[in-house]
Amino acid sequence: MASLHELLTLKTLPVDGTYVAELTRLLKSGIPATYTIEQVAAHEAGQDEADDTGSNTTPLHVLLRSLPDELSEEECQVVLRLMDVLFEFGAGWNFLDYENKSPGDLLVEQGYSCGHPLYERVVEAGVCAELLLRKLNDDIEFIEGPEDEDEEDEETEEPAAAETTADATAEADEKHGAPARDTAEHQDAYLKADLEYTDGSLVTKENKDGVMMDWETDIMRLARDSMFKHCGSGAVVLNIGFGMGIIDTFIQERGPAKHYICEAHPDVLVHMRSEGWYDKPNVVVLEGRWQDSLSALLDEGTVFFDAIYYDTFSEHYSDMLELYDTIVGLIKPEGLFSFFNGLGADRQVCYDVYKRIVELDVRNYGMDCKYTIVPLPQNPDWAGVRRSYFACDRYYHPEIRFA
């Protein structure tokens, strides 16, 4: 164990300002704030690099694993300062340690969850880091040699909101022989994959990615209620992504004047036709990706919506950023935008980081995002699907309107 890790095991109590001074001294001396226990072990074993196990137990993990059982208010303030110093020197908010836990997970485990200053400090670091990463990806042009060209596709793919942890899962899957072009990650692969409607779910036939599952039914009802909160049967609404048609069935119960449904997958479109959705007098099916259909609608400039709901599959937060650009031109001034919020939902701390990022991003369009927090006491049943896509015990339902 290096002196940095040793210090952060907080052997001497109470935790006081001397820790902050010593931490600052060590980091200023050049020890990286991301120096992991695994790197120390590799160094001690005479290896150049740590084994690529995906495990990164950072000084921040050591600190948060070493918190005294009873943390006084004064000690909590000191721990916050220690976290500030670590972040200032480049500590990461979302590294996964030897137990596959992020710093946020360790705090939640000890009862320092949403609203507690220690947890909120990690969330704040996460928001800053994600926004900075986006800015760097947007602003920096990388010079590529010819040998880099094959990798271009992969590298320009922006991270999905949930990717901090989903990436690790995908990498592990690849090692175990799952197909390289993941249908949950790459929309072109998804749109070519065969789909299958089963009892209570829609999945990709071959690798059993859950495209939609009926545990989301109550969430869809809640979303429909939001869509019709300020409008009735004269409403003109749009749902992006048909899936199992759960929300569209709920929307039909309210008899809107016009109900647009945008859907891209050919198998889903066949299913919609066979179920009579094309024959409903108030339904307009926009075939194809929203990226194409909605731009056309925007150019026409004749249709404006009271409410828009978005729930697609195999898209990333970068797609949502693009969507904001489009929907602000399609929503009526008093209209509503909402979406299925699975952003970062495979880990509570990532979910909380993206909750904040959405608020910040829509503010750039003069919109406000208000969340209803819905407890999800029961873990959904993931039998029959390759991997879960929601691991939190609460759902943040977003209602976004012009301020």
Ligand X SMILES: C[S@@+](CC[C@H](N)C(=O)[O-])C[C@H]1O[C@@H](n2cnc3c(N)ncnc32)[C@H](O)[C@@H]1O
Using CB under 6 A, list all residues that contact ligand X.
211-212, 220, 240-247, 262-265, 268, 289-291, 311-313, 315
Chain position whose Cβ is nearest to ligand X: 243
The neighbouring-strand residues paired with 339 are 310
What are the strands of the beta sheet with 236-240, ordered from one edge? 283-287, 258-263, 236-240, 305-310, 331-339, 394-402, 367-375
Specify the residue for token string 């990706």. 289
- Residue 178 CB, nearest approach to ligand X (Å): 20
Question: Coil, helix or strand for 255?
Answer: coil
Strand pairing category for 331-339 and 283-287:
unpaired
Q: Which is nearer to ligand X, 19 or 339 (CB)?
A: 339
CB of 109 to ligand X, least distance (A): 31
Secondary element (H or E) of residue 2: none
CB of 263 to ligand X, least distance (A): 5
**Min dist. Cβ of residue 239 to ligand X (A):** 7
CB nearer to ligand X: give 77 or 217: 217
- C-alpha 250/C-alpha 259 separation (Å) is 11
Shortest Cβ distance from residue 340 to ligand X (Å)?
A: 6
The pair phi, psi for residue 99, each rounded to 5°, is -110, 20
- Nearest distance, CB of residue 187 and ligand X, angstroms: 6
Q: Smallest distance from the beta carbon of 383 to ligand X, in angstroms?
A: 18
C-beta of 58 vs 312, nearer to ligand X: 312
Three-state helix/strand/coil letters over 207-253: CCCEEEEHHHHHHHHHHHHHHCCCCCCCCEEEEECCCCCHHHHHHHH
Block residue for tokens 């929300």 = 247
C-beta separation of 301 from 366 below 8 A: no
Whole-angstrom Cα distance, residue 207 to residue 387? 10
**Of the two residues 63 and 212, which places its CB atom closer to ligand X in the complex?**
212
Contact 203, 192 (CB under 8 A): no
- Min dist. Cβ of residue 41 to ligand X (A): 43
Query: Under the phi-then-psi rule, with left for phi > 0, alpha for psi from -120 to 50, and beta for the rest, what region is 115?
Result: left
Helix (H) or strand (E) holding 21: helix 17-28
Nearer to ligand X, 118 or 251 (CB): 251
For ligand X, which is the closer residue by CB, 79 or 220?
220
Name which of 351 and 389 has its Cβ closer to ligand X: 389
Buried b (16+ CB within 10 A) or exposed e, 211-239: bbbebbeebbebbbebbbeebeeebbbbb
Residue number, 124 or 214, with CB nearest to ligand X? 214
Of residues 107 and 184, the one with the C-beta less far from ligand X:
184
Closest distance to ligand X from the beta carbon of 266 (Å):
9
The DSSP secondary structure of 296-341, one letter per residue, reads HHHHHT---EEEEEE--SS--HHHHHHHHHHHTTTEEEEEEEEE--
